[in-house]
């Protein structure tokens, strides 16, 4: 029987799901329609579309995960549900994180200005750099899946044997293995975080350098390039903030699940964990001029349609 807290948790999880689906379906449809209309797909549109698709997949897994956590938490202790759900969630989360990282790197190469020969060489081969990063992420995904499988086996082993009072030495061995696997997963997440942080720092340095050059040439401190720098920095900073919340929520969720099982504390942290796929799409819409203008036109049409349906009384 679902408790009052379970009902609140499910309601909030469904609200997060609806918000995330609205933003990502909108992003995917706009980019696909533009690609079909122009018969040409740009790099940023391809990354945004793949990011929207992977996030939609993650949101579907999150919704199923939340329903299991709220309605049938005992299923987490079985291989049939616990392991497949965890594997699917980590796969979609891995792809979403790396695609968002590639998007940050794309904005860095597209907007930043440095006279260094290495930067110019990489910028000229920007699409190849993105393709290499995506290929690297697929290899890391295979490693991630192997680690997750071992992690879930040990977690389920701890949950199964917790009722039988584990011997101290056996319990310590299992938790030591669990700590090692968690460290490997954390290192895997550290790579995209480092790349995004590096992109943000170099964008900031490029903005400082560009602003100084404008002041020296008496052109002021604001132009189209300056605004592009600031928009890109806001997007990368927002992604980093959500990623940090997401990363720490994931660590807390893993530990609380292993130690306390599926309870209200684990469910509460899961809500913070799912904020990343739900909110990130709206940050991308606000930062992308094409998506932002399309969203404004759509809202304007919806407003006019609502006025026609409900005319003001004379």
Identify whether the C-beta of residue 21 lies closer than 8 Å to the C-beta of residue 280.
no
- Average of pLDDT values for 14-20? 89
Residue-level pLDDT at 32 = 87
Query: Is pLDDT of 167 > 50?
Result: no
C-alpha–C-alpha distance, residues 261 and 205, integer Å: 46
3-state secondary structure of 25: helix
Query: Is pLDDT of 27 > 60?
Result: yes
C-alpha–C-alpha distance, residues 64 and 310, integer Å: 37
Query: Is pLDDT of 42 > 80?
Result: no
Condensed to tens digits (0 to 9), the pLDDT of residues 69-105 reads 777 766 666 667 777 887 888 889 889 989 988 888 8
Identify whether the C-beta of residue 75 lies closer than 8 Å to the C-beta of residue 82.
yes
- Average of pLDDT values for 135-162? 75
Residue 72 DSSP label? -
Identify whether the C-beta of residue 6 lies closer than 8 Å to the C-beta of residue 71.
yes
Q: Which range has the worst mean pLDDT, 41-55, 154-168, 248-262?
A: 154-168
């Amino acid at each position: 029987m679902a408790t009052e807290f379970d009902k609140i948790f499910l309601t909030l999880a469904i609200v997060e799901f609806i918000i995330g689906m609205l933003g990502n379906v909108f992003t995917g449809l706009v980019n696909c329609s533009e690609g079909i209309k122009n018969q040409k797909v740009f790099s940023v549109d391809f990354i945004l579309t793949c990011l929207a698709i992977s996030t939609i997949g993650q949101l579907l897994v999150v919704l199923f995960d939340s329903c299991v956590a709220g309605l049938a938490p005992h299923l987490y202790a079985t291989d049939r549900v616990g392991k497949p759900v965890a594997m699917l969630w980590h796969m979609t989360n891995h792809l979403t994180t790396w695609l968002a990282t590639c998007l940050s790197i794309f904005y860095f190469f597209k907007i930043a200005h440095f006279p260094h020969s290495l930067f110019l060489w990489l910028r000229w081969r920007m699409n190849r750099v993105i393709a290499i990063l995506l290929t690297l992420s697929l290899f890391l995904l295979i490693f991630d899946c192997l680690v997750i499988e071992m992690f879930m086996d040990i977690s389920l082993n701890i949950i199964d044997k917790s009722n039988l009072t584990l011997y101290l030495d056996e319990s310590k061995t299992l938790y030591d293995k669990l700590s090692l696997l968690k460290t490997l997963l954390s290192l895997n997440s550290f790579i995209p975080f480092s790349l995004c942080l590096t992109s943000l720092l170099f964008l900031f340095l490029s903005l400082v350098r560009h602003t100084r050059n404008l002041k020296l040439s008496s052109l002021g401190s604001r132009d189209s390039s300056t605004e592009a720098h600031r928009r890109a920095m806001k997007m990368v900073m927002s992604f980093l903030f959500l990623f940090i919340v997401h990363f720490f929520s994931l660590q807390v969720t893993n530990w609380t699940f292993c130690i306390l099982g599926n309870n209200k504390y684990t469910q509460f942290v899961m809500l913070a964990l799912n904020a990343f796929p739900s909110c990130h799409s709206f940050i991308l819409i606000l930062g992308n001029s094409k998506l932002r203008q399309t969203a404004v036109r759509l809202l304007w049409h919806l407003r006019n349609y609502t006025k026609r349906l409900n005319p003001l009384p004379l």
